[in-house]
Structure 1
Amino acid sequence: MSDSLDSRYGRTSQRPPLPRWVWVALAAAGIVLAIFFGIWVQRDQFDAAPEFKDTGHQILNADQVAISFEVVKAPDSTAVCAVKALNDAGAPVGWKEITIPASSATAGGTQVMEVRESFRTTETANAVTVDNCWTRR
């Protein structure tokens, strides 16, 4: 009965399997694409983000604070650091973005800058800290 069905409807011929080199080429292409994707995703990490370290803060009065911190960055890049003041409950009561300009120093290496800045708060703060720093493009 199977022969009569085959003769009536036709039987598709079996396709020969792909050669081994095709599978190897596909696997190699997949690996190369995965590597390039990883580089693309991590590209921003190669542009090293500025590092920062709080060195002190001062509560000047009920509505003003001062912070001092160090920033380590590439000399030819402009960094922006966000600083915040917190109240007793840990809620932000002040915020400021501070721009640290590129210097005319020779490109390459790193540059350590000491930054001191004061800013206003909405109520009395008990802590002041650097929230984050990033490179401005």
Structure 2
Amino acid sequence: MTTQALLDERYGRTRSPRRRLVGWTIVAVLALSAIGYLGYTTFASSAASVTATDTGFTVIDDKSVSSSFQITAPVGKPVACALEARDEDHGTVGWKVVQYPASDDASRAFTETIPTLSLATTGFVNACWVP
């Protein structure tokens, strides 16, 4: 036996197999808990997410623009969307929040008219969410 091993044994610095097992058990429980928590939060946030895809817009006149879009949302949940109209300098000239009731369809298409303060060059969905 080496001098270091003799000193460790003499002064009780060796770990018993039971202490080693308890230590690794604690590490394993903490790791599994962290993985479970991350998995749950990932699932919970993706289950309530809403995606919106712009499909087109039409400038009606200098006071309104029509925006067409499609949303994919959780079934049975109401959805709200913020629509925006911008001018050629990328300034916001119109804004509208619309709410849609819950539906049995995951994907739905809509066309909404956004009132504007001046001539808009585009209309689009800024964001959608489950209220």
TM-score by length of 1: 0.73
Say if 1:47 and 1:30 are closer, same or farther in 2 by CA, change over 3 A. Answer: same
Tell me the residue number matched to 2:63.
63
The RMSD of aligned alpha carbons is 2.2
Structure-to-structure mapping, 1:4-23, within 5 angstroms:
17=15, 19-23=19-23
Per the TM alignment, residue 97 of structure 1 is displaced from its structure 2 partner at its CA by: 1.4
Q: State how far apart, in whole Å, the 2-side matches of 1:44 and 1:92 are.
A: 33
Per the TM alignment, residue 118 of structure 1 is displaced from its structure 2 partner at its CA by: 0.7
Structure-to-structure mapping, 1:88-103, within 5 angstroms:
88-103=88-103
Q: State how far apart, in whole Å, the 1-side matches of 2:119 and 2:12 are.
A: 80
Q: Determine helix, strand or coil for the equivalent of 1:33.
A: helix
Say yes or no: does 1:134 pair with 2:129. Answer: yes
TM-score by length of 2: 0.76
Tell me the residue number matched to 2:29.
29
Name the structure with the higher helix share: 2
- Matched residue count: 119
- Gaps of at least 5 residues in structure 2 are 1-10
Letter in 2 for 1:63: K
- Contact 2:80–2:128 (8 Å) recurs in 1: yes
Q: State how far apart, in whole Å, the 2-side matches of 1:74 and 1:54 are.
A: 19
Q: Determine helix, strand or coil for the equivalent of 2:130.
A: strand
Q: State how far apart, in whole Å, the 2-side matches of 1:27 and 1:74 are.
A: 37
Per the TM alignment, residue 95 of structure 1 is displaced from its structure 2 partner at its CA by: 1.3
Tell me the residue number matched to 2:83.
83
Partner deviation per Cα, 1:21-57 (whole Å, 9 max, x = no partner): 1211121122022113313542433314222221211
Per the TM alignment, residue 112 of structure 1 is displaced from its structure 2 partner at its CA by: 2.4
Tell me the residue number matched to 2:108.
113
Say if 1:114 and 1:89 are closer, same or farther in 2 by CA, change over 3 A. Answer: same
- Gaps of at least 5 residues in structure 1 are 1-12
Tell me the residue number matched to 1:6.
none
Say if 1:44 and 1:84 are closer, same or farther in 2 by CA, change over 3 A. Answer: farther
- Contact 2:84–2:114 (8 Å) recurs in 1: no
